[in-house]
Amino acid sequence: MSRIQIKRDHPMATYSELIHSTRATAPDGEIDLRKRPHFSETLIQGFLFFCGVLSIFTTVGIVVVLFEESWRFFSSPEVGLVEFFTTTTWQPQIGAFGIWPLLSATLMVTFFAMLVAIPIGIAVAVYLSEYAQERTRKLIKPTLEVLAGIPTVVYGYFALTWFTPQLRNVFGSDTVQIYNTLSAGLVMGILILPLIATMCEDALHAVPRSLREAAYGVGATKLETSVKIVLPAATSGIAAAVILGISRAIGETMIVAIAAGAGPKFTFNPFLGAETITGHIVRISGGDLSYESIDYNSLFALALVLFVMTMILNLVSQRIVKKFREEYE
């Protein structure tokens, strides 16, 4: 197909005359009306392509560094892969590298965070999508965005100075330690709440209005329509929001570093202090670690575990979205 350019120096020419003149010169009778890109558009397109390639190479570089440093850790005679994933003692000073004290604290804090964020976030999303008026929606959504914009270190001190004393007043000072995973998890749930609420509200808002009208037409109430029609139709988006919130909780650092505790301890008691993977990385990396030491390389091994966990969650999220995604015309 040859590209035919239509000159614009005949403003009074009709469209039929231009088409006729174009067809007369086109060898195959077809017309190519595509606009030739300007230099600025080509420049912007090239810059966007460069940004995409740069992000890919950055990700590849991070992964390469993680695997390289982690390989040095696992290839050390002091560390065994089986010991790393099966034992329950993490004390690099004596050569004990069992990840379960750090991993159990991470999972426990994540569990309490999602225990707060999932039900409240979905409830807020349903209210904003199905019940709230426009003025109320414009008031609540910016408030949620304010919660998302608060620095995480503020959440950490909020958990330590306000949430923990409330737990100690309820359950007793002898039961609840000053540093505990419960307060860190609950406050982390408040941090993740805007993320889940916003994403779930977008998923619910994307459900066609015709499904709601059909439910109302057969006599369903607004609550029945929201729970039995709209929520199932938005399952893929809600599941993606939940998994993204879990990934956010696993990678959170400052809240657990301030409020959860600073010692690796294998326990499932939420009232006791424990150290998560991210909290341990922050605490150890701030000390005087010599390069190429076993303690230094262990940080990359822990970071690799976090990377694999979040990657698995993202893959699961994609599978869920593909499985439950519904397309409407």
DSSP assignments along 266-323, one per residue: ----TTS----HHHHHHHHHTS---TT-HHHHHHHHHHHHHHHHHHHHHHHHHHHHHH
> Cα separation of 92 and 89, whole Å?
9
CATH of domain 90-324: 1.10.3720.10
The DSSP output letter for 4 is: -
Rounded to 5 degrees, what are φ and ψ at 53? -65, -40
pTM for this prediction: 0.80
Measuring CA to CA, which residue among 270, 263, 224 is closest to residue 113?
A: 270
pLDDT value of position 111: 94
- In this structure, what token pair is assigned to residue 62? 């991070």
* CB neighbourhood size of 307 (10 A): 17
Q: Would you write out the chain's pLDDT as a tens digit for each of its 329 residues?
A: 444 444 444 454 555 554 455 444 445 556 556 667 677 888 888 899 999 999 999 989 988 988 888 888 888 877 778 888 888 888 877 778 888 999 999 999 999 999 999 999 999 999 988 888 888 888 888 888 888 888 889 999 999 999 999 999 988 888 888 999 999 999 999 999 999 998 898 888 888 888 888 888 888 888 888 888 888 888 888 888 998 899 889 988 889 989 888 788 888 888 988 889 988 888 887 666 667 777 788 888 889 899 988 888 888 888 877 776 666 55
> Cα separation of 39 and 53, whole Å?
21
